Amino acid sequence: MPYFPEGMPIPVIEPLTEPFWAAAREHRLVIQHCTVCGTFRHLPHTLCGNCQSPEYDWVESSGRGSVYTYTIVGHPVHDATNDSVPYNVAIVELDDCGNVLVPSNVVDCAPDEVAVGMAVVVAWDEITDEVTFPRFRRA
C-alpha cells in the first residue's frame, strides 16, 4: 500500500536520476559514487561535492541502515496528505555506501514509535509503473 494517497506529487525522472529509478523498479537501492575520490552522494548530482569530479558510477546498497533523524509532519503541506497526517519524514543513514543519508519515511510505524537509531531496511513503494520509491521499515 502506498505511503501517500493518490494525488501526492511524485518525483520527476530526469537523465541524471534515471539509473536510480531504473534500479528502484527492480527493488535495488543504488547510490551515486564518485569514481575519483570514492565519496558517495545522495541525492544525485552532476558533480562530486568533495572533489568536483563529474565521474561517477552507481553502487548497490544493502538497503540496511538506521534513522539518523526524523520529524513528524502534523500539518498537511499538500491536499493529498490531508488524511495522512501525522506522518514521519526520516533521514536514514545507510550502513554501507559511506553512511550516506537518504531522505524517506518509515512505513508501518506510528508517529510515536519512530526513534533515532532505529534499525531499518528498505521497503519498496510502487507508486506508478515508472516510480518505485524507497521507503524504510523496521529491521
Binding region for Zn ion (CB under 5 A)? 34, 36-37, 39, 48, 50-51, 53
In the complex, least distance from residue 16 CB atom to Zn ion, rounded to whole angstroms: 16
In the complex, least distance from residue 52 CB atom to Zn ion, rounded to whole angstroms: 7
Nearest to 20 by CA among 70, 68, 56, 65: 56
50-59: Cβ within 8 A, 24+ apart: 56/32, 57/32, 57/33, 58/19, 58/20, 58/23, 58/30, 58/31, 58/32, 58/33, 59/30, 59/31, 59/33, 59/97
In the complex, least distance from residue 35 CB atom to Zn ion, rounded to whole angstroms: 8
In the complex, least distance from residue 60 CB atom to Zn ion, rounded to whole angstroms: 19
Identity of the residue, 48 or 106, whose beta carbon is nearer to Zn ion in the bound complex: 48
Identity of the residue, 51 or 139, whose beta carbon is nearer to Zn ion in the bound complex: 51
Identity of the residue, 24 or 48, whose beta carbon is nearer to Zn ion in the bound complex: 48
Identity of the residue, 50 or 62, whose beta carbon is nearer to Zn ion in the bound complex: 50
